[in-house]
């Protein structure tokens, strides 16, 4: 479902509305009322899931994030990014122990599905990588689910 949203929003909402001149996507969406960028949309959705209290969490991570907070934070995430970069059709999964609790974690490849993604990352002044093409792995979506 997350992967479907990650494809539908940039292609059909952002690019569709921008092409018609209706509205644009911008990193300043909260202040200026444009659409959130695709990465911001996913991150905001992840925050809503966290607030719901189910314990299910997800977020974007990358080896080349524009926002430094989105680097892989743990050894599991860093290894997962390396795996999905080389094998993007297969998620990197495992059970992780944190704070006395167990979590199923998975890192799925996050691909450049739309020109909106590529244009932002390739032109952003703080982007450490500027040669993305359609279907390139830009990073990963890490999902965490508590194990009872």
Model confidence pLDDT, tens digit, residues 92-148 = 999 999 999 999 999 999 999 988 889 889 999 999 999 999 999 999 999 999 997
pLDDT score at 33 = 67
pLDDT at 18 over 70: yes
pLDDT score at 14 = 81
Residue of 59, 42, 55 lying closest to 7 (CA atoms): 42
Percentage of the chain beyond pLDDT 90 is 61
- Residue 8 Cα distances to 12, 15, 16, 56, 83, angstroms: 5, 10, 10, 22, 25
Provide the H-helix boundaries in the chain.
2-8, 15-19, 29-32, 38-52, 75-86, 115-123
pLDDT score at 20 = 83
Q: What is the pTM of this model?
A: 0.86
34 against 83, higher pLDDT: 83
């Amino acid at each position: 479902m997350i992967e479907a949203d990650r494809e539908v929003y940039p292609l059909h909402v952002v690019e569709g509305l921008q092409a018609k001149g209706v509205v644009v996507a911008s990193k300043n969406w909260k202040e200026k009322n444009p659409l959130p960028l695709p990465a911001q949309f996913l991150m905001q959705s992840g925050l809503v899931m966290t607030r719901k209290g189910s314990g299910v969490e997800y977020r974007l991570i990358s080896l080349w994030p524009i926002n430094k907070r989105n680097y892989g934070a743990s050894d599991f995430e860093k290894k997962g990014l390396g795996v999905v970069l080389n094998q993007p059709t297969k998620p990197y999964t495992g059970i992780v122990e944190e704070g006395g609790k167990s979590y199923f974690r998975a890192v799925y490849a996050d691909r450049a599905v739309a020109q909106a993604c590529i244009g932002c990352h390739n032109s952003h002044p703080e982007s450490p990588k500027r040669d993305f093409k359609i279907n390139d792995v830009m990073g990963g979506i890490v999902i965490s689910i508590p194990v009872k």
